[in-house]
Chains A and B, each alone.
Chain A
Amino acid sequence: MRSRLLLRVTALGYLTALLLVPVAMIGYRTFAHGIAPVWDALTTPAAQHALYLSVLVTAIAVPVNVVFGVVAGIALARRRMPAPRLVDLLINLPFAMSPVVIGLALFTLYGRGGWVGDWLAAHGLQVLFSIPGLVLATAFVCLPFVVREIVPVVEEIGAEQEQAAATLGANGWTTFWRITLPALRWALAYGVVLSTARALGEFGAVSIVSGDIVGQTQTLPLLVDERFRNFDATGAYSAGFALAVISVLVLTAMTVLSRRKERPQ
């Protein structure tokens, strides 16, 4: 019994030192001088724009990946995907790549001297240091989350219900909307939550392609970094705290959804 207690104390002590105290610390540091400076820091035009930009980029990148994830996930699970090994590799590549290398890869394609960068610039389309670059970086980073949730569920539910619907005269769309999609809803929701968290918080890939122009291409995580480097601790902690609150919400959603996901239908 004593050894059990020792193990418990060691494990919880490790978690406390590494996770709990640091995360509690950010709340303390943020509100060290009261609420007013935090409110001021979060309502500056730069902070407002950073929040708007983060939400905008997420609102474009995540839905695109959801459509891709559902279509590709069903095709992969039903063995209808051409070149499945290559597709599998490409889907998992964002997990194997450093965010910085992802940003750099986009740089070598769309930047000056890149494969298509100069041509696009000559035709008036600026990808890097503007919103398209941010969206591409975010979509790249979040790519695996939805599709990886979808594939195992489609494999598990099988095709019997869809076949039954087809025998009863339902066309492809009806079957998809009434049979397939409802069966996928919890896995899909879980994937969306993971993608959204990652999209809102992405730093490395975005920092390479954004140019970090205040009020133009600065997302919320980039604002945290820039405020901190400019010795504006309150600004950095306030934005960091806002992001931490979002991640606690995400964590709650993850916990609820993963329970739903595992419950038999």
Chain B
Amino acid sequence: MQHASEANLALYGTGDLAWWRCQWIGLHVARCAECRRRADEYRADRERLRSLADELPGVRWERLAAEMAANIRVGLAAGECVAPRAPKHTIPTGWRVAGAIGGFCALLVLAWWLNMPPAQTASLGRAMKAIVNGPQWQARRALGLDDALTLVQASAEGVELRENGGALTLSQRGVRPVSVTLNTQGSARARYVDSDTGQVTITSVYAQ
């Protein structure tokens, strides 16, 4: 069993320990005969000193005891200052900053995912792509390569999707549509009416 320090036993014996530490040392002293003996000796010394103090006029023993207790505490604190310390394991500053930024980004992505509609996300993606490909698009424009872009068209003849140099049209047996509509998300619809049955067929093309 590890014994209590001399300082603690001395302060315990004179009733000068802090409350919680006093309880702790008290528990130890109750189980350890050696420490109990020494605490009793400190207590007996104190009683002896008090009885001697009564014989010495002009000495304020209460104040003297308080000063001594204070000195012991100062000594303990000084001992802690010069004691060897184990190095603390801390994360380097750079990693901490990166972690904070990563967490913030994850929070932003989550907030975006929960709140923003898919169309706006797609729109942002295209805007970013346009920024990245800016010079290339300027070059295409200079060369007049408009057909290389995605294009959806609605006209009196029908609807058409042009993409990557190819084209896709959906119609009904060479009949002209009765109406066409274009949608700004990149799709177009043409409506055809069968002259015999009146059955309406709607063809659509969609750019992705």
Interaction A to B: no
Q: Which residue numbers of B lie inside 8 Å of A, CB to CB?
A: none
Q: Which residue numbers of A lie inside 8 Å of B, CB to CB?
A: none
